[in-house]
C-alpha cells in the first residue's frame, strides 16, 4: 500500500521450494530513475547523495511514475491523491544529521547496511564470499544500476520479484508523449 514503504516477505526459490529467505523490498533508488524522468510536474527527483524522493506537495497523482518504474514500486495514496514510496529516510542520512535509515537502524540481525555505493558493493561481495553459496547481486546492473544493492539466493524471477532490464529505462520518450498530450 502507499503506507508500506518497505516490505519484508518470506520467499522461496521457484527451483528449490524448500529453501526460504526473507526478502527486503522497497524503492531501489535507481542511479538514473525513470520515475523522475516521466513526472510531468517534477515532483520526483534524485538527491545528490542518492535517495529518490517524491515531493507530495507537487505530486498530481498521475501515476506515470508507477508505469515507468522498472520495479513497480511507487504506490498511490487514494486518500491523499499522491504517489508515495520509500525515500531512504533522506532526512536521517549521514550527510544531514548522521543517522542511518530507519530500516537499517532497526534491523536486528545486521542484514542491512548503509554507506556510499562503492563501499556497499565491496561489502556485498564480501558477504557473498562468506555465504559460500550461489548468490545473485541485485542492483549492480538492473535499470542501469541502483543505490539499493540486494543479495538474493537466486535470480529475481525465481524469487517472484519484478525483473528489471539491465539498461537505463528510456524516460525521455515518455516525457515527450506526456507533455505533447
* pLDDT for the residue numbered 112: 86
Q: Are 163 and 41 within 8 A, CB to CB?
A: no
Q: Read off the pLDDT of each residue in 97-114 and give the average, rounded to a whole number.
A: 82
- Judged against a pLDDT cut of 50, whether residue 12 lies above it is answered with yes
Confidence of residue 101 (pLDDT cuts 50, 70, 90): confident
Report which secondary-structure segment, H or E, holds 12. strand 7-13
pLDDT (tens digit per residue) in 24-62: 778 899 999 999 999 999 999 999 888 999 999 999 999
Q: Are 42 and 58 within 8 A, CB to CB?
A: yes
Q: Are 61 and 82 within 8 A, CB to CB?
A: yes
d(CA 74, CA 54) in angstroms, rounded, equals 10
Which of 50-64, 85-99, 130-144 is predicted with the least confidence, judged by mean pLDDT? 85-99
d(CA 142, CA 27) in angstroms, rounded, equals 13
pLDDT (tens digit per residue) in 168-181: 655 554 444 444 44
Amino acid at each position: 500500500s502507499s503506507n508500506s514503504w518497505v516490505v519484508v516477505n518470506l520467499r522461496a526459490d521457484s527451483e528449490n521450494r524448500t529453501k526460504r529467505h526473507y526478502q527486503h523490498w522497497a524503492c531501489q533508488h535507481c542511479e538514473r530513475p525513470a520515475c523522475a524522468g516521466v513526472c510531468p510536474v517534477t515532483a520526483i527527483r534524485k538527491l545528490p547523495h542518492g535517495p529518490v524522493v517524491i515531493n507530495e506537495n507537487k505530486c498530481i497523482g498521475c501515476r506515470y511514475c508507477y508505469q515507468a518504474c522498472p520495479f513497480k514500486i511507487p504506490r498511490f495514496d487514494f486518500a491523499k491523491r499522491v504517489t508515495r514510496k520509500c525515500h531512504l529516510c533522506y532526512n536521517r542520512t549521514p550527510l544531514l544529521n548522521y543517522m542511518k535509515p530507519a530500516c537499517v537502524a532497526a534491523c536486528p540481525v545486521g542484514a542491512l547496511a548503509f554507506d556510499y555505493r562503492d563501499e556497499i558493493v565491496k561489502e556485498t561481495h564480501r558477504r557473498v564470499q562468506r555465504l559460500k553459496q550461489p548468490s545473485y547481486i541485485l542492483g549492480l546492473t538492473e535499470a542501469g544500476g541502483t543505490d539499493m544493492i540486494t543479495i538474493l539466493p537466486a535470480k529475481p524471477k525465481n524469487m517472484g520479484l519484478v525483473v528489471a532490464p539491465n539498461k537505463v529505462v528510456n524516460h525521455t520518450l515518455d516525457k515527450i508523449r506526456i507533455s505533447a498530450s
